[in-house]
Amino acid sequence: MTHDMPTPGAGLIGKRVNVLDKGWIELQDLMGNDLAIVNAARTSFLGESKGTDKDKKLLFYLMEHRHTSPFEQVEFKFRVRAPVVTWWQWVRHRTWNFNAQSGRYVAFEEDDFYVPAVWRKQSPSNKQASLGQLSESEGQLLFDALGEHYARGYALYKQALEAGVARELARVFLPGFAVYYTWVAKVDAHNLMHFLHLRMAQEAQYEIRVYAEVIYEHFFKPALPWTAEAFERFVLGDVR
């Protein structure tokens, strides 16, 4: 049985998917496809494609036995808008290359703050996780308070700017973890899979998990269908 060789992410560049209340992910560039991974592996002994069946079998062998360097030959470059509460965790993955919007050069807008859909409760058994959520009436009180907090912080930020304070200093009035920033983020497929394995897990914080899931479903799988199939079989397991 033969398989159709995947095309290199046809139609994906420029695609944007909304995330959270005001965030999004856009694929800016893509280098390589499943065949690039296979050809990189065969470079070790100056080989070439041997047809779709054998090529796919080799890619699955690479994934199963953790021969990771060929997967580094594919690269994704994203433009991402996310709140600091998301970026705070994302930048821990130091295999990514980042370039961020600067509050020193660009003034923030009044609605550049993250508003969660629900208020999650602290898990009693896991210091790093949440479990359950507040009732609608309890939550509404906090949503009202959050709106007032954002409005007050932004008003002080604008007051400082109008008084002539530098943008780099005036931003101290903004609610730190809630501000949305836009970043360019680049990563190879091997390190992206490591990121996805950790951040799509159910115990990962929701605000980064939703970004990881969008990357996987809307960009990674369409760009690298063979790799995604092997990734799900040999790496993800019960993570999802």
Residue ranges of the domains in the chain?
Answer: 16-101+179-236, 120-176
Has residue 151 got a pLDDT over 70? Answer: yes
User: What's the CATH fold of domain 16-101+179-236?
Assistant: Gyrase A; domain 2 (3.30.1360)
Tell me phi and psi for residue 110, to 5 degrees: -65, -30
Has residue 1 got a pLDDT over 50? Answer: no
**Is the separation of the CB atoms in 165 and 104 below 8 Å?**
no
pTM of the model: 0.91
CA–CA gap between residue 54 and residue 213 (Å, rounded): 30
Give the pair of three-digit tokens for residue 222: 């369409």
In the chain, where do the E strands start and end?
A: 16-19, 23-31, 75-83, 97-100, 120-122, 130-133, 180-188
Instruction: Give the helix ranges, DSSP H, for 100-180.
Output: 136-162, 167-170
Question: Is-catalytic flag, 81?
Answer: no
CA–CA gap between residue 147 and residue 124 (Å, rounded): 28
Radius of gyration of the chain (CA): 21
Tens of pLDDT, residues 53-109:
899 999 999 999 999 999 999 999 999 999 999 999 999 999 999 998 877 778 888
Q: Which of 25, 23, 22, 176 is nearest to 103 (CA)?
A: 176
* Residue matched to tokens 């007032």: 148
CA–CA gap between residue 8 and residue 76 (Å, rounded): 12
**Is the separation of the CB atoms in 7 and 224 below 8 Å?**
no
Question: Residues for the chain: how many in total?
Answer: 240
Give me the mean pLDDT over the 3-26 stretch: 83
Selecting among 94, 199, 233, 240, the annotated active-site residue is 199
Tens of pLDDT, residues 23-65:
999 999 999 999 999 999 988 554 566 788 899 999 999 999 9
In 54-174, where do the E strands start and end?
A: 75-83, 97-100, 120-122, 130-133
Tens of pLDDT, residues 155-199:
999 999 999 999 999 999 999 899 999 999 999 999 999 999 999
The domain defined by 120-176 carries CATH number 1.20.5: yes
Same fold, 16-101+179-236 and 120-176: no
- Chain CA centroid to CA 13, Å: 16
CA–CA gap between residue 106 and residue 195 (Å, rounded): 29
**Is the separation of the CB atoms in 85 and 204 below 8 Å?**
no
